[in-house]
Chain A
Amino acid sequence: MSVKIVAFCCNWCSYAGADLAGTSRLNYPAQVKIIRVPCSCRVDVQFILRAFVRGADGVIVCGCHLGDCHYSTGNYHAEGRLTQLFSLLDFMGFERERVHLEWISAAEGAKFAATMDAFVTQVSALGKNERYRNMYTKAGAQNE
């Protein structure tokens, strides 16, 4: 019963880093599904929550290192937005360990593989996602 991970990777740095991990024949867990985005700041909070509702057990967002964003400031926006998202998710009682933000450059194939490996281990310890899936909880409890 392996956990499903969705990885949003920015085209210019972290996706290239993933490619480098591939060409270097570095192993990382197969249950990571990569979705390429132009920039880490393209990642709307709804992407992350919907991924969970549809069965993801962990979501990781990867972008360029601060200062190195292809669009100059995108990753700063992503950092601000995702920090708030993670804080809110923890506050609402969702497991904070199921989400992660990491900066990985195009040259860091090894870091990509290691990050995915560590994240899968972290999420596997939590098991399958139930709480986030219940975000679409049937509401309107009648019996008061």
Chain B
Amino acid sequence: MQSPVYTCSLDNVTQLINRIAEKMPVYGDFGSSKTTLSPKGFFLPALEKLYETAKINDSYKITPAPPENAPFVLLGIRACDAAAIEILDGVYLNDPIDPQYKARRHASYIVTFACETMGANCFCQSVNINPAAPKGDVKAWVKNGTFFWLAQSEKGERLTELLLDLLERTIPAGNDLLPVEPPDSAPALPLPADMLSAFNAPVWDNLHRACIACGTCTFLCPTCQCYDISSHECTENSEKTHCTRQWDACLYPGFTQMAHGNPRPSKKERFRQRFMHKLVYHMQKYGTSACVGCGRCVNKCPVNMNIVKVAHVLAQEEVNAYV
């Protein structure tokens, strides 16, 4: 049975948020447009301690970091980021399950917010994401000056129970109450159909040259999920070491560096890898592109390289610098 749709006046939304905040931490809000950082850091932090070792007499004691399972709420997640969280779940909640990710993910309540207009750099519709129909435990939207709230999962229903006295129930959603999908004016994201010809395309020789391999796109991307693990001496106490996990980028030279050498020896191979993964490998393996069209890389790339440009160049639709 579908959950009922609830409404409240726009003025009372703050009360809703405050009520939730009485029970658990709340991050984000309904008003802002895209954040610079994606929500992935709530589940896969930029830096986290996995365990600590300490020398006690002649033996070592290993203390794993306790799992973080305190509940929290993420407010105002957009459709792009909600789709990205699903992609991350596919990686971290499948065998082998990542215990740290799982603890945080299960402790989270995702309240999404439908987009009424598209940002200038957004292109989620080009990857078959409907900005007006975000997933998440609860979907919220504004229409005709009214705030709507609809639980989409059991967790969402539990959250809704906290707020019943602040919300008004409406009849189950007919289409006239649902948010309207904004018009699609974003550039297309053509996905190469043939993996080998995309991999061997001569355009990579020139296309990678503008990229400075900094990792900004990777760290801002909501689906990029790779990490590095390293151990270091604890700075306060040299008898202890910390083993930490931190974000890594396949664009970095050290990413596939191994004892024998590096199978991706130059920036060209690493640049190609990033976009082949996002545009081709993920599609072939899972049926969706790994890009959710959020546009963060478009906005923040230091040299204005971005996944749309790469896709267009690969599709060779017109004469450009790389032909």
Contacts and interface: CB of A to CB of B under 8 A. Distances in A.
Interface of A: 53-55, 133, 136, 138-140, 142-144
Contact of A55 (B36, B45, B236): B236
Nearest to B232: A136
B236 A144 contact: no
A102 to B, nearest CB: 27
Nearest to B72: A143
Nearest to A140: B46
Contact of A140 (B27, B35, B47): B47
Interface in B231-290: 235-236, 238, 247
B47 A143 contact: no
Contacts of A139: 46-47
Contacts, number: 27
A144 B37 CA distance: 8
Interface string B22-50: 00000100000001110001100111000
Contacts of B45: 140, 142
A3 to B, nearest CB: 16
B35 A144 contact: yes
B36 A144 contact: yes
B37 A142 contact: yes
Contacts of A136: 235
Contacts of B36: 144
A138 B47 contact: yes
Nearest to A53: B235
Scoring A53, A133, A136, A142 by chain B CB atoms within 10 A of each residue's CB, the highest score goes to A142
A99 B45 CA distance: 35
A54 B235 contact: yes
Scoring A133, A138, A140 by chain B CB atoms within 10 A of each residue's CB, the highest score goes to A140
A142 B47 contact: no
Contacts of B235: 53-55, 133, 136
| B: interface residue count bin | 10 to 19
B27 A143 contact: yes
Q: Which 4 A-B pairs have the closest CB atoms?
A: A140-B46, A142-B41, A143-B27, A53-B235
A55 B234 CA distance: 11
A135 to B, nearest CB: 10
Contacts of A144: 35-37
B236 A142 contact: no
Nearest to A136: B235
A36 B44 CA distance: 44
Contacts of B27: 142-143
8 contacts: A54-B235, A54-B238, A133-B235, A138-B47, A140-B41, A142-B41, A142-B42, A142-B45
Given A140-B247, A142-B46, 20 more contacts: A53-B235, A54-B235, A54-B236, A54-B238, A55-B235, A55-B236, A133-B235, A136-B235, A138-B47, A139-B47, A140-B41, A140-B45, A140-B46, A140-B47, A142-B41, A142-B42, A142-B45, A143-B27, A144-B35, A144-B37
A82 to B, nearest CB: 23
A138 B244 CA distance: 12
Nearest to A55: B236
Nearest to B32: A144
Contacts of B41: 140, 142
Nearest to B237: A55
A139 B46 CA distance: 8
B234 to A, nearest CB: 10
A119 B236 CA distance: 23
Contacts of A140: 41, 45-47, 247
Contacts of B238: 54
A41 B235 CA distance: 26
A143 B27 CA distance: 7
Contacts of A143: 27
Nearest to A143: B27
Nearest to A144: B35
Contacts of B42: 142
Contacts of A53: 235
Contacts of B236: 54-55, 133
Contacts of B47: 138-140
A63 to B, nearest CB: 28
B227 to A, nearest CB: 13
Nearest to B238: A54
B40 to A, nearest CB: 9
